[in-house]
Amino acid sequence: MKGVMNGKEKKVFSKEALANITKKHGKWVKGPLAQWLVKVPERKKGFHTESGIPIKEIFTPKDIKEIDYIRDIGFPGEYPFTRGVNPSMYRSRPWSVRQITGLGGPAETNARMREQYAQGVTRMGGILDCNIYAAYVDPDDPEFDHLYGIESLGRTGYIATNLRDYEELYEGIPLDKVSVASMLGHFSQRETGMIFALAKRQGIPLEKLNGISQNDSMQLFNGNYYPAFPPEYELTLALDLVRFCSEHVPKWNCLSMAGYNRQEAGLNAYQEIGVTIADAATFIQEGIKFGIDAEKFVPMISFHWGFTMDFFEQIAKLRAARRMWAMLTRERFRIKNPAAWKMRFYLETSGSCLTAQQPYNNIIRVAIQAMGGVLAGANALHTASFDEALCAPTDFSAQLSLRTQQIIEHETGLADVVDPLAGSYYVEYLTNAIEKRAWEYVDKIVEMGGSIAAIRKGFFFRETQQACLDIQNQVENGDKVIVGVNRFQDEEKIKPSLYRGSKEAITQALARLQQVKKNRDHEKVSAALHRLQERVREGGRGSMEATIACCEAYCTFAEMNRAVKEICGVYSLAGDSILSR
């Protein structure tokens, strides 16, 4: 970069130029800025990003004077991939539209997915009802109603308990022509087993399947507190899915590190990427010990990030994350496969930013976040529906979220240039600042002995709880303005139609479950569950094959969860004790 100063052509980052900028900046601060602020004072005492990084009134070359362009920014598709993992990014191939859906019974969700497929969506996946995948009893058990309330089924995801439900869920969806996502975190092994069992039943070779298993068991201990197995067991179950995919399903992204869930639990930008990358490092280390070839499985790791309303900080977060992953894999782990250095990520607009008050405001929030994700180089994108703070998305809100992506792609010009914010003094400053703080987090976790040790010490729990408290205090004292919540409230005259679930879907699900249990081969069920327990007891290797066999025998999620629980118990943070052995 060159500029003209005093009639001479000088490099912007030369010592002479930086000294001149510093001098001129000082005069500007004491002169025009000071005079203006006497007339029009700044609206608050200090400005900071959501994660607390100070924001000055302007940024100049001196704020990024240590940057080496080739080393730190580089070119798209080249190490350190700060500007994107592909050379031409969206100019050649737009980001993948991945819309996640889950409501009512399998037939209802299937209808939504088939409609999306007809509109060109080939990256899809469903959200299973959280009360099913986390449970140790089936919905037809009276205890389920006591614990969760049977009438709630189908409101937080589709109702599916066994392979029969998945046959209906994916009816008419060619599994070898779409990319399917299982977004259940540490329960992904069981649901991925359902998908693989379904593919085998349809005669589709597993090597032809393309999709994602979130499978990030560590994220559970960062704030998403469903009943969990002890972290050591969770890790080995996740690693055996990785091992199985590296051997039999090479196009499957077998480990999607869920930074999104850590963010939604309360962590700020640098905490989110620091903790997530530290956890990913644990997976690599333990995967190597597990006997998996790092050169094969690390390129299969992808990431799932979120995007909140702090526009520039979130863009900088994602650029920093790409650079950190490249350094971690190439420099720290010495992985030779260049595909392993590329952080491929799926971006989801933030659910926690959606408000139940004035829900139509969420349309604007989602559009802003989606634009930021595109500017940051997301490889795939999910746009939330505006009514998700109130209910599962309706047909109208789901279509609107899809149209949001299509408008950004085809009408804004954002897809026509690669990383247009590169070189921005502010964005590069933030990228560096976030990376520095995130590495400090990684090093802190390493010093504790790694992610498992940090879990056992309650580090993640304390950090998440404090972050949540800080956010809530900012909202309550007005430092963090949320339009329609703590400012600009008014009477809502136009209210959206809401999805309320279907009693008929619940009745049908229970009848289908009871029919499956009546007609399945009970000896096969018992043998498959016993085999799964053996594999878990003996260190986890082969547990994925055992899980698929359970799914093929029409075992339910609760039956598989219960079988594993009988071997390893349930983890509780209280006193770092293990309960219910």
Q: What pLDDT score does 225 carry? A: 58
Q: What pLDDT score does 3 carry? A: 41
Best CA proximity match to 529, nearest among 543, 519, 512, 515: 543
73 CB-side CA count, 13 A: 18
Q: What pLDDT score does 223 carry? A: 63
Best CA proximity match to 161, nearest among 566, 449, 560: 560
Best CA proximity match to 223, nearest among 52, 445, 462, 454: 462
Q: What pLDDT score does 498 carry? A: 85
Rounded to whole angstroms, the Cα distance separating 113 from 95 reads 19
Work out the number of other CB atoms within 10 angstroms of the CB of residue 65. 14
501 CB-side CA count, 13 A: 18
Helix (H, G, I), strand (E, B) or coil at 20: helix
Q: What pLDDT score does 7 carry? A: 44
State phi, psi for 381 to the nearest 5 degrees. -140, 135
Domain ranges of the chain: 1-41, 71-100+175-190+204-477
Q: What pLDDT score does 577 carry? A: 40
pLDDT tens digits for 196-251?
999 999 999 999 999 999 899 888 887 655 667 899 999 999 999 999 999 999 99
Best CA proximity match to 387, nearest among 181, 226, 155, 158: 155
Q: What pLDDT score does 104 carry? A: 86
Low pLDDT (below 70) residues in the chain: 1-10, 223-227, 573-581
Helix (H, G, I), strand (E, B) or coil at 337: coil
Pull the structure tokens for residue 251: 């196009």
Q: What pLDDT score does 520 carry? A: 97
- CATH superfamily, domain at 71-100+175-190+204-477: Methylmalonyl-CoA mutase (3.20.20.240)
Q: Which helix (H) or strand (E) holds 507?
A: helix 503-519
Q: What angle do CA 187, 215, 406 make, to 5 degrees?
A: 105
Contact 34, 40 (CB under 8 A): no
Rounded to whole angstroms, the Cα distance separating 256 from 416 reads 28
DSSP state of 394: P
For residue 504, what are the CA distances in angstroms to 6, 218, 395? Answer: 79, 37, 19
Helix (H, G, I), strand (E, B) or coil at 398: helix
